[in-house]
Amino acid sequence: MNTFIRKSALIGLLLGLLAGVVLFSWSLVSDWARVSEQVRAQNIQTLQILLPTFIDLDANHQTEHLNATLTRLLENSSFQKVVLQRGAAAYYVAEQPQQNLARPVLDLLTPKFITLSVSEASPTKDQTPMRLSATLNAHQAFDGFVNRHWQFARIGLLRTLIIILIVILIFEFVAIRPLRALGQRVKGGDSELSLLPEGNPADAIEIKQLSRAFNERVERIFRLQFENQSLVAALRASPDCCLIVDLESGNLLFCNAAAEALFGRTNADLRARPIWELWRQDRHNFESDARMAQQMLGQFLKFILETERPDGSSVPIEVHMTTFNLDEQQRGLVFARDISERGALLRRVADNQKADAIRTLAGGLAHDLNNRIQIAAGHLDLIDPESLSQTDKTSLLKARQAILESAKPIDQLLRYSEQKDIATAPLSLTPCLMRHSAALAQAAAPCQLNLDLQNETLTAETNETRLIASLVQLLNNASDATPSGQGLISLTLKDCTLSNPIAGVQETIPAGRYASLVITDQGLGIAQADLAKIFDPFFSTKALEQGGGMGLSVVVGFIQATNTYLTVQSAPGQGSTFTLLLPAVDADSRTQ
């Protein structure tokens, strides 16, 4: 047997011995708790069965019979010593001579001697209970258990050694001997490997260079594979839609999860149709875009189009497209993203810029008109009504009334043009509305105002003056929208909790608790086309001489400055409902 087999056999033997010890220890420890408890219970049960017999023998004064019974108990059990006693006095004692036998495994698991005892269950009235105590020899009691598990361990050890020997032999015949034969052939000159140069430095250097080049090639291949895997993982995780397209057929070769979300289709559905169907284009337009992308020499062609999802909704998308050559075939790389939110943001920015421009213009006009009206009002005040005829007095009164009415739209212009922060504080709404009920009723005139205060303790963070001014303006609009002037306008205060965000006039209303002020009229209603315009400055559906359309834009200024929200529901012929949502606060912090 050669050196390898000898060393392998020695290592296998050591491993087998170690496996046997581990197997024996694991088997012994895993069953020890159950077996030890079982042995204890069996011996205690034996003592419980014998105790009544010993008590009867003692009561009948059969001392010899009792001693003989105790001796037989020691001979036929694992007990080392048995004591029958009443109270502290030992009546009968039987004991075997101790045997000092070495049991190292059992010494690790249990003490050598274990004391067990049982007592008389129902002694007579005037006697102390009889007790039977026994000292259990653990080495003798558990010797069979240990021997049985050691037999199992020996069998397992033998099996392990056989398996290791078989593996060593297989390895010897399959690997070691063929390699040894190959080495002998090379050494003897019968192999092609023997043609390798020996003693020629130039050839050796060339072989080293070839080997180094081969290793570098292998490393480059592995590095490219890693980079490709990383690139694919990055494209799959991209938040933007990513597509790789076959430019000839238009079929998708790759699409990520963002593409599925953008087009509202599964991966299989996207791959089953050409890309121009997803873009709602014809093939000619797509091929034209692809040719333009090819001419841009690696740069991205950027354009915007609108796609349609299976649910019928349209989504504007911004597309960046380029081309590349793979396996002598032209491919298209496309990145796309949903720009509907960007469009809404741009429209909001444009609206803000328009509002700023109108606000600047309104401020200048208001100050200029206010100065001129003040001059006219001052000159009218210089006229003495007593020196005028009745006709002239009437004309003077109409002129002064016209001056006062002109001040109202000018005041609205000034309010709209101001960009000052509005101070807010906790306000108890029910007392506030009761204090201003007369002004609110006058604003709703000639219609009747129904004030419904459903929550008397509701408190909101707002500005009282600007809140009442906004309510007055909304009630004025509701009254103007009622042609007969005899309708009913209701103003309802109630607690409102939104579990989910909802759409508002200016922005999305977040979930939370609000104080809701609802104004409902029975007027003509608002056309759907006008709902988006009613809050624009100077927009009005009334005749030019009936108003300048500044009222609701002033309300929008209030809600923007006080963290308040507004919703509108209306339809032609069904009246309108305006809802102010004020941020509710705890009643303990209110100020009235």
Q: What is the pTM of this model?
A: 0.41
Of the listed ranges 122-131, 455-464, 540-549, 567-576, the one predicted with least confidence: 540-549
pLDDT attached to residue 108: 63
- Alpha-carbon distance of 68 to 97, in angstroms, equals 17
Q: Which residue has the higher pLDDT, 482 or 198?
A: 482
432-467: string of b/e by CB count within 10 Å (b at 16+)? bbeebeeebbebbeebebebebeeeebbbbbbbebb
The tens digit of pLDDT for each residue in 330-372 reads 899 999 998 887 777 777 777 667 767 766 766 676 677 777 7
- Mean pLDDT value of segment 34-56: 79
- Residue 147 predicted with pLDDT over 90: no
CA proximity to 143, closest of 278, 308, 305, 28: 28
List alpha helices for 319-435, DSSP H: 340-381, 390-417, 429-435
The 10s digit of each residue's pLDDT in 380-439 is: 788 888 888 888 888 888 888 887 777 666 666 666 555 556 788 999 999 999 999 998
- Whether 582 contacts 517, CB under 8 Å: yes
Residue 520 has pLDDT above 90, yes or no: yes
Q: How far apart (Å, rounded) are the C-alpha atoms in residues 290 and 248? A: 10
Identify the CA nearest to 514 among candidates 591, 566, 437.
566
Give the residue carrying structure tokens 């014998």: 50
Q: Which amino acid is at 154?
A: R
